[in-house]
Structure 1
């Protein structure tokens, strides 16, 4: 029967053998890599250049917060002077405002210009009454082209004859 000491000695011997085999295999791999590099004329600098010369992961001593900018203030409260970048939850002084253009600060204000001249994007239509596009020559009734068509134009084969001349 084997004793505890003899089993521990065998474990230590096997661990040293495993370490020796691992070291030999890694040196064989490194030898093959060095041989390939010499055969093809590749240097360590070439490999670093190919990889971008940057090490992956976080560099010691670097601060991720230092690289991020806070962003320029887009909106300014005229009463308190408080600013907001337009990202995240809106502060109370601008949260319920429909037209935020009057709170724009600095360069953002210069970019917007006159909000009344804003062109409607496709799919975004102006609300409220629209100027008429069609007119019935008999009754003088008009239709803007939005909503349900009136009977006098719905039954027409060619609605273009009811178009109002645009100036």
Structure 2
């Protein structure tokens, strides 16, 4: 059984997640300096999270990230005039480190929190690799739920 088909154990408010894609965070959490992560749907629902991340923190992060991504899209469209411009990533730098946000197509996003010791270039590269895997997994899950559609 591969990571994509592993049984889901993640919970949200006492209910199992309909699709747990926490596996996408494992390579990112292995990077020096990366502390935690969450995967969310475009509308701010948790699709996966790192071990030790409370449900409340995950839900708060997912909701705020959904808002940040919407604001970033609007800002880019307003400043650049390109309404179809795709946001590739958002890096928030603080005195304590970074929050890295990467949309995964139109349906999801990956968010990771890292200390200032992280190699931000390596993190950006690894996140984009995981974004591609997540998009593929979501496409496959969608096709499996839609009769007559193959990914």
Normalising by structure 1, what TM-score? 0.18
Q: Which one has a bigger Cα radius of gyration? A: 1
Larger strand share, 1 or 2: 2
